[in-house]
Amino acid sequence: MKALILAGGFGTRLHPISCTRPKHLFPIANKPLIDLTLERLAKCGVKEVVLAVNFMAHILENTLGESRHGMTLRYSRDVALGRETKQLSQGALGTGGSVKQAEKLLREKKSFFVLNGDILTNSDYMKIMEEHQNNEKIATIALHRVKDPSRYGVVELKETNCIERFIEKPSENPPSNLANAGIYIFNQEIFNYIPANKRCSIEREIFPKLAEEDELFGHEIKDLWIDVGKPADFIKANRLWLEAGMASNINSMKARLGKNTEIKDSVAIEEDATIGQNSIIGPNVSLGKDVFVGYEVRIKDSIIFPHTIISDFTTINGSIIGESVSIGKKVKIERGCLIGDYALIHDNVTLAQNVKICPSKKISEDILKPTSIM
């Protein structure tokens, strides 16, 4: 069986951390998000995965290579043929156009999986496949109940679980709180609905049409599920994964811990991390490879990418700190901050809520309002 993972979006809502890597490589409990998806597909018996790539395609290709977890990996780039100019262009094809672009690589079996690459779930994809095979429709989409349907595609279901209407990001009166979970199974006929060499949104252009034709089936999943689109989602995804005990790679106690260091569950700490004495780490913290934490540091609800240094008496709350960042002593980083790779934050600086620092910036003064430092 084959699967296509959509992994070519720009991830603009996660700037500036996503300026230097695709969001699919962001770590959840210190493992790349996409690797968790690949692991799950391998467990479901998938043999070949096609990655639809565009933004920073080379980073994904170099990191993941040609096989993973016993599956063959292939790449489909969003190269579009300009209609007027007949020239190849490197524009993003959108969620529909990139499915069409991969058509030749997905021919073989009647049905295949398509997954949004920015979803974290422990759902059993095979259950959705079984449901699809019982229902003779062109497409099945997994649905998940959410509190705020306005940020998702929302469906109105018939009693048969066929989708009556599909509305992308409804601004008012959503027909239900059942949202598109970004996990689909398509039959080969799907390719007849998507134009070639053209940008197309599967959510806005194809699903509403399939619903009208009674060819779209909905399957509710009740498992752990989160869409990792915004910084707060990423921190929440890390917490849910840790709390659910899904992070099999954790061996925090192997890290070098100073005297009186307190580790509050749940955390993921790479074994080569160092934490100085009297520091308090957790709950919901991931410390990546080779992270160095000084004395009396307090970190909670945060994700720290590899090779970052956090000096003595610093506090970090609800923030994401990129790779190889240097944070001085007595720095205070408040909720919602995003610090790009290689940034340098000098001693005694306070960053108030929602400050974003671009990669390699040097910050020597307090920033007390939500701002992006470019």
Closest distance between ligand GTP and the C-beta of residue 56, in Å? 10
Alpha-carbon distance of 262 to 348, in angstroms, equals: 23
* Residue 205: CB minimum distance to ligand GTP, A: 13
- Cα 182 to Cα 154, 188, 339, distances in angstroms: 12, 18, 28
368/36 Cα distance (integer angstroms): 37
DSSP H or E run through 147: none
- Token pair 């007595």 is found at 330
The length of the chain is 374
- Binder to ligand GTP among 37, 95, 311, 319 (CB under 6 A)? 95
Q: Under the criterion CB under 6 A, does residue 92 sit at the interface with ligand GTP?
A: yes
Q: Which DSSP helix (H) or strand (E) runs through 350?
A: strand 350-351
Closest distance of CB 327 from ligand GTP, Å: 26
Kindly identify the residues of this chain, within the stretch 206-225, that bind ligand GTP according to CB under 6 A.
Answer: none
**Active-site pick, 169, 300, 329, 330:** 169
169 a catalytic residue: yes
Q: Out of 16, 32, 149, 229, point to the residue binding ligand GTP (CB under 6 A).
A: 229
Query: Which span sits near ligand GTP by CB under 6 A: 1-9, 25-33, 82-90, 330-338?
Result: 1-9
Residue number of the CB atom closest to ligand GTP: 9
Comparison of 238 and 279: residue with beta carbon closer to ligand GTP: 238
Contacting residue, 32, 94, 276, 306, with ligand GTP by CB under 6 A = 94
Which string of DSSP letters, residue by residue, matches 163-192? EEEEEES-SS--S-SEEEEEEEEEEGGGGG
Minimum separation from the CB atom of position 18 to ligand GTP (A): 8
- C-alpha span between 167 and 279 (Å, rounded): 48
Q: How far is the CB of 59 from ligand GTP (least distance, A)?
A: 13
Instruction: Cite the DSSP H helix spans in 18-107.
Output: 33-43, 57-64, 94-101, 103-106
Of 75 and 313, which has the nearer Cβ to ligand GTP? 75
Q: Under rule CB under 6 A, how many of the chain's residues touch ligand GTP?
A: 21
| Alpha carbons 7 and 118: distance in angstroms, whole number | 8
Dihedral over alpha carbons 58, 63, 67, 70 (to 10 degrees): -150
End-to-end CA distance of the chain: 45
Least separation in angstroms between residue 348's CB and ligand GTP is: 33
Nearer to ligand GTP, 51 or 363 (CB): 51
Binding mask 45-84 for ligand GTP (x = CB under 6 A): -------xxx-----------------------x------
String marking each residue 3-32 x if it binds ligand GTP according to CB under 6 A: ---xxxxxxxx-------------------
> In this structure, are residues 169 and 177 in contact, taking their beta carbons and an 8 Å threshold?
no
Residues in 113-152 that interact with ligand GTP by CB under 6 A: 116-118
Distance (Å, whole) CA 181 – CA 227: 8
Site residues (CB under 6 A) for ligand GTP? Answer: 6-13, 52-54, 78, 92-95, 98, 116-118, 229
Which residues are part of the catalytic machinery? 169
